[in-house]
Amino acid sequence: MSQLFLRRVVAVWFAAIYALIGLPLWYKLTTIYRAPLPGEYVSSLRENMHADVHVVVPVYVRSDTYKFPDIHRAIQAQADALLRSKPSTIDWSLQVMPAEKNQTLDLESDYVLTLVLDDFTGYAIPYDSKETVVFFDDTAVLSNDVPFFAAQTLIEHTFAAEWTHFSGSTSVQDENTLDIDSEMVISYSPTMHLSLSLLTGDGRPVAWDIESTLNQYFTPLRRFLSPLVNFTVDTSILPFNDLNLGSLHDVQDPSWQDLAHSVDLSELSSINHYREKNVVNLAIVFPSPEAGQLAFINATQDRPWQSFMVPQWGALVVNKEALPDNARITQDYLAPVIYSFACELFQFLGLSSEKADLSTPYTTIDSFKRIMTLKNLEQGVETLWSLVKLTNQFPQMSVPKRVLADVERAVELRLQAVELINDPKQGNEAIWNEALRLSNDFVQVCERAFFHKEMVQQNFFPQEHKIAVYLPLLGPISVIIFTGLIKALREKHGDDAEDHLNGKKSLKFDSDKPLQSEDTS
């Protein structure tokens, strides 16, 4: 083996170890840890948002006078046909079942359709239960209209909210998502804070009979809404704050726009240390006597105030006149204010739009639970998708294991919730409460994953630092290895013969030397 060849092999080996083992090892040891997120799964979830969801609501049919042995099948068929008639965002259907004889139905937790023989056809939905009463006459039975009529009543009236939101997909921009976003709606969370403030423009003492008013008018509402949202409530009196309404006094004939532009809610919004994520505010404002009366307020003697809604913040009750001296605001004043606020509260929660009334609170709240559960699922998936997109966009960003664990947990929660929703045998209130809770947890876990602080922190650690630190070592070694390799490769073959001889000589020389030294020793 020629010496040149040997030297070349050595140089190539060095370069190969450097390039094939050293560099990958260095890269591996110095790269930022990025947990493998299930990106494809998340993006497929987002593309087919509710593909695996099929909402099934069981309805029990009972008939008091006639026995219809197969009425539930007929209603089922009619209901399915009706639902198919409209394109739906989310698959949903009713599971119509006959009420067994011995089965006791709880009207407050199960949907019950009661068929009542009467002189006319019609329906009624009582406000204190989840019962739907359908009245029919004998002609309807003869012409076999009862199943269609029952199905129509159920879908278009009892499940009106689902009918509009799940089936009536009016939004153009995205067919896959629910659209219940009114600009008023404060994003849903299971606990909310309610902050009621009484603001006066001056420092004179004021009092209000708020405790008794709230206990009488607001406690029932809190109890009623408790499966959906739990409120914590505080009230406060804030003197010397008229939300800058005093500045409108000088304006000639101020308009609503002026009001919108001059109202200053910063102080009310900034001093909150509530533990709840979302806050709904009610501010009752009295101008100061110096500011004079607010001419634009459409007030009457028994109702000297006007209510305004501030999107995603709360309600503003503006009074026309300043308070009299030493005033105690009585329940007579506060009750209409609280009532009006409660109506607005439903809008802030997204429970009702401006048109809808709450004549059937039981079914409305139940429907709202369903819509919110699905909305939550949607929101969580969007968050996960944003997380995946973010990590893809910033290749330098670290993705800690915790984030991966959270994402996995979120996906698991979502599957649990979907499983509950899809089960046709379980559709009672407890199941929906559970599904709502799961979906709330899902949203929370998704957000925890998204807002993991290490991800952002590491993103500001520039890659150049790594180069700067390692260059003093890697630079010289690279230069040595590669120039050595090139030199060895470029050495001419002409030299080789000579080298070969010389090599032999030198080898001999080399091998002689130790022998000599051995001899001498």
Partner 1 sequence: MRANLVCLWAFIAARNSIAVNSIDDELVIPNETESAGSADQTCSILKSSNSPENNTYTVGKKEREEPEIVEELEIGLDGDTKINAVLFSNETIIKYPFGEELTLKPLPRNFMLASFAFELQSNNFTVGKTESAYDTYRHYTVFPKALSPILEYTQTRQLHLRFTHGRWDAESWGQLPHNGTKSGGNGVELWAVVEAGSQHEAFENWIMLANSLSGLFCSSINFIDVEKTTYPVSSFQPAEERTIPIFNSSNQAYLLRAALANEPICTENLTPFLKLLPTRGRSGISSLLDGHKVFDSNWHSLSIDVETSCNGDTCQYQMEENIEMVFNVPNSLARADNPIPKPVRDSDLQCDESKPHDSWECFPLPQSKHTNFQLSKLFGKKILGSNLISENPSKVCAQVSDSWTVYVGIDDDLFATDDNCFTIKNDQLHDIHLKSDNTAHLKECEDVPLFVSRSLTGYGQDSGGLRTVFSNPSNESVQAIYFESLPWYMRLYLSSLKIESDAGLEIGDVIKSTFYLPAIDRERPTHLEFNITIPAETTLALTYQFDKALLKYAEYPPDANHGFEIESALVTVLTPIHYEMRTTTLLLSLSTPDFSMPYNVIILTSTVMGLAFGTLFNLMVKKLVTIEEADKKASAKVGLKAKLIAKLKKLKGKGDKVNQLKKDQ
Residues numbered 359 to 398 that lie near partner 1 (CB under 8 A) are 359, 361-362
292 contributes a contact to partner 1 by CB under 8 A? no
Pattern 319-358, partner 1, x by CB under 8 A: --x-xxxxxxxxxxx-xx--xx--xx--x------xx-xx
How many C-beta atoms surround the C-beta of residue 473 within 10 A?
10
Q: Can you tell me which of 173, 301, 511, 520 binds partner 1, judged by CB under 8 A?
A: 301
- Piece of 112-120, 164-172, 216-224, 433-441 that binds partner 1 (CB under 8 A): 216-224
Q: What is the DSSP string of 475-500?
A: HHHHHHHHHHHHHHHHS-SHHHHHHH
Q: Which is nearer to partner 1, 44 or 215 (CB)?
A: 215
- Piece of 58-66, 409-417, 448-456, 471-479 that binds partner 1 (CB under 8 A): 471-479
Q: Can you tell me which of 24, 395, 462, 476 binds partner 1, judged by CB under 8 A?
A: 476
C-beta of residue 402 within 8 angstroms of C-beta of residue 448: no
Q: Can you tell me which of 24, 48, 51, 261 binds partner 1, judged by CB under 8 A?
A: 261
Q: Can you tell me which of 5, 10, 100, 462 binds partner 1, judged by CB under 8 A?
A: 10
Q: Which is nearer to partner 1, 204 or 389 (CB)?
A: 204
Within 152-211, which residues bind partner 1 (CB under 8 A)? Answer: 183-184, 191, 203-207, 210-211
Pattern 416-455, partner 1, x by CB under 8 A: ----------------------------------------
C-beta of residue 34 within 8 angstroms of C-beta of residue 399: yes
Rg (CA), the chain: 37
How many C-beta atoms surround the C-beta of residue 153 within 10 A?
22
Within 128-157, which residues bind partner 1 (CB under 8 A)? Answer: 128-129
CA distance 262 to 257: 9
Q: Can you tell me which of 64, 302, 464, 518 binds partner 1, judged by CB under 8 A?
A: 302
Which position has the token pair 């605001």? 329
Q: What is the DSSP string of 207-274?
A: EE-HHHHIIIIIHHHHHHHTTT-EEEEEEEEE-S--TTGGGGSSSSS--HHHHHHH---HHHHHS---
C-beta of residue 309 within 8 angstroms of C-beta of residue 178: no
DSSP 8-state code for residue 178: -
Q: Which is nearer to partner 1, 67 or 275 (CB)?
A: 275
CA distance 193 to 234: 8
Q: Can you tell me which of 19, 23, 51, 271 binds partner 1, judged by CB under 8 A?
A: 271
Within 78-137, which residues bind partner 1 (CB under 8 A)? Answer: 108, 127-129
Q: How far is the CB of 488 from partner 1 (least distance, A)?
A: 6
CA distance 327 to 317: 17
C-beta of residue 242 within 8 angstroms of C-beta of residue 291: yes
Which position has the token pair 């602080």? 453
3 contributes a contact to partner 1 by CB under 8 A? yes
Q: How far is the CB of 382 from partner 1 (least distance, A)?
A: 26
Pattern 236-255, partner 1, x by CB under 8 A: xx-xxx--------------
- 386 phi, psi to nearest 5 deg: -60, -40
Tokens standing for residue 54: 């099929």
- Piece of 144-152, 243-251, 381-389, 469-477 that binds partner 1 (CB under 8 A): 469-477
Residues in the chain: 521
Which position has the token pair 């009543």? 153
Q: Can you tell me which of 292, 311, 395, 462 binds partner 1, judged by CB under 8 A?
A: 311
